[in-house]
């Protein structure tokens, strides 16, 4: 008897209204956003109520859902006004709120009945008993702690029918599910109330401290100043395991990342899910293309987090970078004239006549070309365009669509660290 696999949603980050629309256009089944209160990304472009309404309307019209992160840990007084805020979210038809603090969960349940509540990864859920506890309180989904293994995912799925949401791509916190006070100590910014300064990503000095003598800085004498910075998570090769083990939502981290990042990563994970559900052979056929595509966006090195083993020094940012992206985001397509095969693009980075570029769009569409007939919007011929957000026109060999993105190859910047004459491999 053939096992019927459930299609997991691809859940993408949306730090701004622009990113929300890009994520939905590039295949996200759902997006998560932040409001102007109760979230953990105070520096993201958090949504005003009017922007939320516009984003919800845009997503719902295209069959996608919108979740709001309200996952801060409240101190005395922080919860003031939460009931009214949750009611406002419910009434504007937000699909769910993502919460970690029991006080906010209680307020959302009692003051905004009918509003769906998901448990944030900040609550560190690592076993099925925890799932069942939150189910008793009315929650419908739990976002797994990043420390959960794939074997534990399988066991949780067997023992509970609560929806499982799991991170599949993006930054890894050095502390247990984000429960960190390093930022509070180092910069007086509360990580659990939205102000994390990512102190773990800083470079630190090392000191020699002989007994009874003045300490001496070893700066310049040691090869590495990073102490705690982890590589990013990437589960693109392991989508079959997540689907087979019944994960309901594949979550991509990165509300502060660019539209280039959001569009590329969403496109890849959507293509991976579609391919595997069509057939394992189809997934295997495109797997390397997916890996190569993900390396076209700015990110740290990649690994699989805690899913298969405990991270070692290879999952930390020590030594020379073993691999870096080769491409930069240079433009997005605004319109296309099929009669003249001319694309109007909005520039995001410096462009030159003759640059090697790649167009890509939703549905994992790609083609490469060179910039030809570069003109300003007024029709003036130019050979260099240095001004961001300027409208330009170029001739293209294939049809493109509004919303397609344009990359340029940064030749010469690839940096594969050599050890004993051989390239070190990067686990993905």
Q: Please tell me the predicted confidence (pLDDT) of residue 427.
A: 31
Q: Which residues of the chain have pLDDT under 50?
A: 1, 42, 412-428
| 250 SS3 class | strand
Query: 3-class SS at 197?
Result: coil
Per-residue pLDDT, 426: 33
Q: What is the pLDDT of residue 222?
A: 66
Cα dihedral: 25, 29, 34, 35 (round 10): 90
Both 194 and 248 in a single domain? no
What does the alpha-carbon distance between residue 236 and residue 266 come to, in Å, rounded to a whole number? Answer: 11
Angle separating helix axes 128-136 and 150-159, nearest 10 degrees: 40
Residue 414 within a domain: no
Same domain, 59 and 116: yes
Task: Identify the burial level of 73 via C-beta atoms within 10 angstroms of its C-beta, where 0-12 means exposed, 13-18 middle and 19 or more buried.
Answer: buried
Whether 18 and 44 have beta carbons less than 8 Å apart is answered as no
R_g of the chain, CA atoms, integer Å:
23
Q: What is the pLDDT of residue 224?
A: 65
CA dist 195 and 173 (Å) reads: 14
For 33-99, give the DSSP string. Answer: EE-SSS-S-TTS-PPPHHHHHHHHHHHHHTT-EEEEEE-PPPPTTTTTTHHHHHHHHHHTT-SEEEE
CA dist., res. 246 & res. 152, Å (int): 12
pTM: 0.87
- Same domain membership, residue 358 and residue 298: no
Residue 330: phi and psi, rounded to 5, are -120, -20
DSSP assignments along 290-315, one per residue: HHHHHTTS----EE-TTSSS---GGG
Q: How many structural domains compose the chain?
A: 3
What gap in Å lies between CA 118 and CA 97, rounded to an integer? 6
Q: Which two tokens stand for residue 35?
A: 């409001």
The tens digit of pLDDT for each residue in 343-382 reads 999 999 999 999 999 999 999 999 999 998 999 999 999 9
Q: Are residues 243 and 269 in the same domain?
A: yes
Any domain includes 236: yes
- Residue 424: predicted pLDDT: 32
Instruction: Classify residue 294: in a domain, yes or no.
Output: yes
Do both 59 and 151 map to the same domain? Answer: yes
What does the pLDDT read at residue 299?
79
The widest CA-to-CA distance across the chain, in whole angstroms, is 81
Q: 10 pairs with which residues across the strands?
A: 250
pLDDT at 352: 93
CATH number for position 381? 2.40.30.10
Expressed as residue numbers, the domain containing 277 is 9-172+230-315
Does a structural domain hold residue 222?
no
Task: State the angle between helix axes of 82-91 and 102-111 in degrees (0 to 180), rounded to the nearest 10.
Answer: 60
Question: Based on the domain organization, do 126 and 147 belong to the same domain?
Answer: yes
- Is there a domain that residue 225 lies in? no
Residue 203 sits in the same domain as residue 271: no
Judging by beta carbons within 10 Å of its beta carbon (0-12, 13-18, 19+), is residue 238 exposed, middle or buried?
A: middle
Judgement on whether residues 26 and 84 belong to the same structural domain of the protein: yes
Q: Exposure string (b/e) for 389-402, b if CB count within 10 Å is 16 or more? A: ebbbbbebeeebee
Residue 357 DSSP class: E
**Helix 17-25 × helix 259-278 angle, to 10°:** 30
Separation in Å, CA 148 to CA 8, 88, 382: 18, 34, 54
* DSSP per position, 132-173: HHHHHTT--EEEBPTT--HHHHHHHHHH--SEEEEEEEE---
């Amino acid at each position: 008897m053939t096992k019927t696999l459930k299609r997991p949603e691809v859940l993408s980050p949306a730090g701004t209204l622009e990113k929300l629309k890009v994520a939905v256009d590039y295949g996200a089944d759902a997006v998560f956003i932040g409001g102007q209160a109760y979230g953990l990304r105070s520096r993201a472009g958090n949504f005003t109520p009017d922007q939320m309404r516009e984003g919800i309307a845009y997503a719902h019209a295209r069959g996608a859902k919108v979740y709001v992160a309200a996952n801060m840990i409240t101190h005395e007084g922080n919860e003031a006004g939460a009931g009214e805020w949750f009611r406002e979210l419910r009434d504007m038809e937000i699909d769910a709120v993502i919460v970690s603090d029991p006080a906010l969960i209680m307020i959302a349940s009692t003051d905004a009945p009918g509003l769906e509540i998901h448990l944030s990864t900040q609550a560190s859920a690592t076993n099925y008993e925890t799932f069942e506890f939150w189910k008793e309180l009315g929650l419908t989904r739990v976002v797994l702690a990043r420390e959960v293994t794939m074997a534990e995912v399988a066991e949780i799925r067997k023992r509970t029918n609560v929806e499982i949401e799991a991170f599949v791509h993006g930054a890894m916190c050095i502390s247990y599910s984000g429960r960190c006070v390093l930022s509070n100590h180092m910069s007086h910014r509360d990580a659990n109330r939205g102000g994390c300064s990512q102190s773990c990503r800083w470079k630190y000095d090392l000191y020699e401290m002989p007994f009874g003598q003045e300490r001496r800085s070893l700066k310049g004498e040691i090869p590495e100043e990073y102490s705690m910075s982890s590589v990013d998570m990437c589960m693109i090769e392991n989508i079959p395991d997540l689907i087979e083990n019944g994960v309901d939502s594949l979550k991509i981290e990165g509300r502060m990342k660019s539209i280039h990042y959001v569009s590329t990563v969403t496109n890849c994970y959507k293509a991976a899910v579609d391919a595997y559900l069509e057939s394992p052979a189809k997934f295997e056929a495109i797997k390397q293309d997916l890996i190569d595509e993900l390396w076209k966006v700015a990110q740290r090195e990649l690994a699989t987090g805690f899913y298969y083993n405990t991270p070692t020094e290879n999952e930390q940012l020590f030594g020379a970078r073993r691999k870096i992206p080769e491409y930069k985001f240079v433009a997005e397509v605004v319109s296309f004239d099929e009669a003249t095969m001319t694309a109007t693009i909005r520039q995001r980075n410096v462009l030159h006549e003759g640059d090697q570029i790649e167009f890509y769009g939703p549905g994992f569409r790609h083609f490469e070309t060179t910039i030809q007939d570069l003109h300003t919007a007024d029709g003036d011929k130019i050979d260099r365009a240095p001004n961001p957000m300027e409208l330009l026109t170029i001739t293209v060999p294939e049809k493109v669509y509004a919303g397609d993105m344009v990359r340029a190859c940064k030749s010469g910047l690839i940096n594969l660290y050599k050890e004993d004459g051989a390239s070190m491999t990067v686990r993905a």
